[in-house]
Amino acid sequence: MDREFLIDLFADFGPVTIRKMFSGHGISADGVNFALSLRAGLFFRADEVTIPDFEAEGSKPFQYSTRAKTVLVNSYWELPARLFDDSAELAQWARAALAAAQRARVKKRPKGKKAAKKVAPRKSVAKKAVKKTVPRVGKAKRAHRSK
């Protein structure tokens, strides 16, 4: 799928940003990536709320093979083929995928950084020794020296 096809496909959904990613494209709206267009097809972001819809359509999660194993990516599911001909329903699925991506984004936000304890810097032994060996000069001696 090329960029122009994807722009036309998401016309009823609204403006999308399409960027090259892996062997295809990442599709995002409002700065949130919610779909992947790869050689294997079009995959929408999914979560516990939307996965049952994909399962009901007979869709499967995205997977890829490495030398050692096949990796299943349960957060992206293949878009049912029938939606390519129904742009209004595709837009509904895209909104649901965007909502799933936004929910995942909220879950991933790091909790606030813990405040680090402030520890007084340690003075080195050498500096202490230098301070002890230097005689203190009082106000009277300073005044006498400046004359």
In-domain check, residue 116 = no
In-domain check, residue 49 = yes
In-domain check, residue 41 = yes
| Spatial CA neighbour of 78 closest among 103, 96, 54 | 54
In-domain check, residue 130 = no
In-domain check, residue 23 = yes
Pairing state between β 32-38 and 61-65: unpaired
Looking at per-residue confidence, does 114 or 52 come out higher? 52
In this predicted structure, the answer to whether residue 124 has a pLDDT above a threshold of 60 is: no
What is the domain-level CATH number for residue 55?
3.30.1460.30
Taking residues 128-143, what's their average pLDDT?
58
In-domain check, residue 126 = no
Would the pTM count as exceeding 0.75?
no
CA 76, 64, 90 angle in degrees (round to 5)?
A: 30
Range of the structural domain that residue 8 is part of: 3-108
Tens of pLDDT, residue by residue over 80-112, are: 999 999 999 999 999 999 999 999 988 776 655
Domain count, the chain: 1
Looking at per-residue confidence, does 23 or 27 come out higher? 27
